[in-house]
């Protein structure tokens, strides 16, 4: 994957930047240009404003993945969940810092900033949100993200868009 | 719009066809269908080809003229077009072919579906299949297609009390049917214990809850119903061909335990055909993962919301069922060559409605339904086929 392709999504993947329809009040993540909930669909164009999610939510459903997606082979078994955030949008992400058998529907979680995967030794390192139980010590809003997704090799770091 | 009939069908066997190339399976199915339809190729108007991912799978895009060429039709300069809609590519191609004949643009068209999965390693095929979900907001975070359907299964079991064994019975049923289909990828029978005890893929789904990656191709010849008797004694009328779409990502659905695109497509299809679910004797329902047909049966209107698990386990959809589902063995046992699936479903229905399905024949089949999904249901296609009286 090119660096730009991941870098351009960093405001969303690092900081949970969504959007809100000022016509009907519905909140979206990732942000949308048009509101699918508005009955007068066209009226919502240019009425969408940025909206920051808090990162708090609860598990709507979860699965323990044993056959990994590419780049996640070293992480199996890992938990993927649908997390319904307090503001409404549902996000797909890993649930970490907890044994898979302790994950349950209704578990309260909070977004946490983590490494998602590496594209080999010289490729891009992908960062973004995962979710951790709120009663575990490691919690809090996504913290201190680096300026951009940077390649693993320091030689390529200088060329990374910031 | 004029009425459209299926005049001929063809299909390769499904499975790991290491000895056959993409173009070989593509033309095999298409030529079988032409012969079956007793159609002279000079009467052919166009080719529609359903395919999900040839570029990623065999490094070849632009495959519709390729198949046309190797079918010996290049010098006729016929129009040939690829149609893509993830796992629903074949059914979407059929929809396009149907529209082309119904509109009068072409009199006779071949609709094919073909996919070659086993020229890449399984892990690569898994990744390519996942790209029919939302790459940026699902796959990047570690989701695969079975993981997303695992999320659906868990939620469904939580809301409606379906049991792990209910899911397992879906696979047991598929293999029971597939055992009678000489084209099927798998012809072995399974037990509930085997399915439940199989290695997990994305819990609660195990390896035997998931359809295999198969190579294969299927094709049909469509033409105007008015002309159908010149080609076949048993024309099969396309009573409805409906497509509906929904959000790309599962996370944006209003409720993940229903595929609303299927609800919409089915409602339109039954309205157009002036039929109801109770009129259907045989149905080919998307079963890439064991949870899929349980939700599918509810979305299509065959069973009340939340009741598919126990109804399925009671044997209601087996032989002599109301309706009998997946006599081909479905995606689980007949196989899952993605772009070919939607066409193969219709090939099976045509054989059933003609009364040519041999020892897997559904008695008294007059109205059949085919249901195909792309991704987690961002595309759903429903066809109704009826034996013309």
Q: Are B223 and B106 in contact (CB under 8 A)?
A: no
- Quote the minimal CA–CA distance from B162 to chain A in Å: 15
CA–CA dist B342, B330 (Å, integer): 11
Is A61–B152 a contact, with Cβ atoms under 8 angstroms apart? yes
- Residues B246, B376: one domain? yes
Domain count, chain A: 1
The answer, as to whether pTM is greater than 0.80, is: yes
Q: Is A7 within a domain?
A: no
CA–CA dist B200, B203 (Å, integer): 6
B358: exposed, middle or buried (C-beta count within 10 Å: 0-12, 13-18, 19+)? Answer: exposed
Q: Is B369 within a domain?
A: yes
Q: Is A59 within a domain?
A: yes
What is the per-residue pLDDT for B371?
Answer: 98
Q: Is B132 within a domain?
A: no
How far is C-alpha B147 from the chain's CA centre? 21
Q: Are B75 and B14 in contact (CB under 8 A)?
A: no
- Residues B243, B348: one domain? yes
Q: Are B388 and B235 in contact (CB under 8 A)?
A: yes
Give the domain CATH number at A121.
2.40.50
- CA of B254: which chain A residue's CA is closest? A90
Q: Is A36 within a domain?
A: no
E strand or H helix at B7: strand B4-11
CA–CA dist A28, A17 (Å, integer): 9
Which of B145, B147, B202 to mutate against chain A (most A CBs within 10 Å)?
Answer: B147
Under the banding of pLDDT at 50, 70 and 90, the label for residue A162 is very low
Q: Are B339 and B111 in contact (CB under 8 A)?
A: no
- Please state the φ and ψ torsions of residue B271, each to the nearest 5 degrees: -65, -45
- Please state the φ and ψ torsions of residue B44, each to the nearest 5 degrees: -75, 135
- Residues B102, B68: one domain? yes
Distances in Å between the Cα of A20 and the Cα atoms of A30, A81, A129, B115 are 10, 23, 20, 41
Q: Is A103 within a domain?
A: yes
Angle between helices B338-354 and B89-103 (to 10 degrees): 60
**Which residue segment(s) compose the domain that B157 sits in?**
142-210+239-387
Q: Is A83 within a domain?
A: yes
What is the per-residue pLDDT for A120?
Answer: 82
Q: What is the pLDDT along chain B (389 residues), one digit of tens a residue?
A: 999 999 999 999 999 999 999 999 999 999 999 999 999 999 999 999 999 999 999 999 999 999 999 999 999 999 999 999 999 999 999 999 999 999 999 999 999 999 999 999 999 999 999 999 999 999 999 999 999 999 999 999 999 999 999 999 999 999 999 999 999 999 999 999 999 999 999 999 999 999 999 999 999 999 999 999 999 999 999 999 999 999 999 999 999 999 999 999 999 999 999 999 999 999 999 999 999 999 999 999 999 999 999 999 999 999 888 899 999 999 999 999 999 999 999 999 999 999 999 999 999 999 999 999 999 999 999 999 999 87
Give the domain CATH number at B206.
3.40.47.10
Give the torsion through C-alpha atoms of B36, B41, B47, B52, to 10 deg. Answer: 50
- Please state the φ and ψ torsions of residue B99, each to the nearest 5 degrees: -60, -40
Q: Is A64 within a domain?
A: yes
- Residues B111, B162: one domain? no
- Residues B52, B177: one domain? no
Q: Is B54 within a domain?
A: yes
Residues of B with CB under 8 A from a CB of A: 123-124, 126-127, 130, 136-144, 146-148, 150-155, 158, 199-205, 247, 249-252, 256
Neighbouring CB atoms inside 10 A of B19's CB total: 6
Q: Is A2 within a domain?
A: no
Domain count, chain B: 2
- Residues B76, B161: one domain? no
With a cut of 90, say whether residue A3 has pLDDT above it.
Answer: no
**Which residue segment(s) compose the domain that A84 sits in?**
54-142
Q: Is B136 within a domain?
A: no
Q: Is B126 within a domain?
A: no
Q: How many CA atoms lie within 13 A of B17 on its CB side?
A: 26
Q: What is B133-164 written as a DSSP string? A: S-TTTTGGGT--HHHHHHHHHHHHHHHH---H
With a cut of 80, say whether residue A159 has pLDDT above it.
Answer: no
Q: Is B133 within a domain?
A: no
With a cut of 70, say whether residue A157 has pLDDT above it.
Answer: no
Give the three-class secondary structure for A42: helix
Predicted-complex ipTM score: 0.96
What is the per-residue pLDDT for A1?
Answer: 62
- Residues B264, B367: one domain? yes
Q: Is A61 within a domain?
A: yes
Residues of A with CB under 8 A from a CB of B: 9, 13, 30, 36, 60-70, 72, 75, 77-78, 80-82, 89-94, 105, 116-117, 126, 128-130
Q: Give the CA radius of gyration of chain A.
A: 17
Percent of chain A with pLDDT over 70: 83
What is the per-residue pLDDT for A124?
Answer: 87
């Amino acid at each position: 994957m090119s660096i730009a392709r991941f870098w351009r999504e960093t405001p969303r993947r690092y900081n949970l930047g969504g959007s809100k329809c000022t016509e009907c009040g519905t909140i979206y993540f990732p942000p949308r240009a048009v509101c699918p909930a508005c009955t007068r669909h066209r009226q919502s164009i240019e009425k969408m404003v940025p909206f920051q999610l808090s990162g708090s939510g609860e598990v709507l459903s979860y699965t323990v993945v044993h056959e990994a997606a590419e780049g996640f082979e070293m992480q199996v078994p890992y938990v993927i969940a649908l997390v319904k955030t307090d503001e409404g949008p549902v996000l797909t992400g890993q649930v970490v810092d907890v044994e898979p058998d302790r994950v349950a529907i209704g578990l309260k979680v909070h977004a946490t900033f983590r490494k998602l995967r590496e594209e080999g030794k010289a490729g891009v390192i992908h960062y973004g949100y995962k979710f951790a139980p709120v009663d575990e010590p490691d919690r809090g809003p996504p913290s201190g993200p680096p300026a951009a997704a940077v390649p693993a090799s320091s030689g390529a770091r200088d060329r990374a868009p910031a | 719009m004029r009425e459209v009939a299926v005049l001929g069908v063809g299909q390769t066997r499904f499975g790991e066809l290491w000895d056959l190339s993409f173009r070989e399976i593509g033309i095999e199915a298409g030529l079988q269908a032409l012969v079956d339809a007793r159609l002279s190729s000079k009467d052919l108007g166009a080719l529609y080809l359903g395919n999900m991912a040839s570029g990623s799978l065999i490094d070849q895009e632009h495959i519709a003229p390729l198949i046309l060429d190797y079918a010996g039709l290049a010098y006729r300069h016929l129009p040939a077009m690829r149609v893509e809609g993830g796992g629903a590519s074949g059914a979407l191609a059929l929809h396009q072919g149907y529209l082309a004949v119904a509109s009068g643009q072409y009199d006779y068209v071949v609709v094919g579906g073909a996919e070659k999965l086993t020229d890449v390693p399984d892990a690569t095929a898994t990744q390519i299949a996942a790209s029919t979900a939302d790459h940026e907001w699902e796959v990047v975070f570690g989701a695969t297609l079975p993981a997303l359907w695992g999320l659906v299964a868990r939620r469904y079991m939580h809301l409606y009390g379906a049991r792990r064994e209910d899911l397992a019975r879906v696979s047991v049923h598929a293999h029971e049917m597939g055992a009678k289909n000489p084209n099927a990828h798998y012809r072995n029978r399974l037990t509930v214990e085997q399915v439940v005890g199989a290695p997990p893929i994305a819990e609660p789904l195990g390896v035997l809850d998931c359809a295999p990656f198969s190579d294969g191709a299927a094709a049909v010849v469509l033409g105007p119903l008015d002309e159908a008797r010149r080609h076949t004694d048993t024309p099969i009328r396309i009573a409805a061909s409906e497509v509906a779409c929904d959000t790309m990502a599962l996370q944006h659905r209003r409720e993940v335990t229903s595929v609303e695109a299927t609800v919409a497509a089915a409602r339109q299809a039954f309205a157009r055909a002036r039929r109801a679910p109770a009129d259907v004797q045989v149905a080919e329902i998307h079963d890439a993962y064991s949870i899929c047909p349980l939700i599918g049966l509810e979305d299509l209107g065959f069973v009340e919301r939340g009741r598919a698990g126990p109804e399925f386990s009671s044997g209601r959809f087996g032989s002599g069922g109301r309706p009998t589902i997946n006599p081909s063995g479905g995606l689980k046992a007949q196989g899952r060559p993605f772009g070919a699936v939607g066409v193969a479903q219709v090939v099976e229905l045509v054989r059933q409605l003609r009364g040519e399905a041999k020892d897997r024949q559904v008695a008294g089949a007059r109205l059949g339904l085919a249901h195909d999904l792309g991704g987690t249901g961002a595309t759903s296609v429903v066809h109704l086929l009826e034996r013309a009286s």
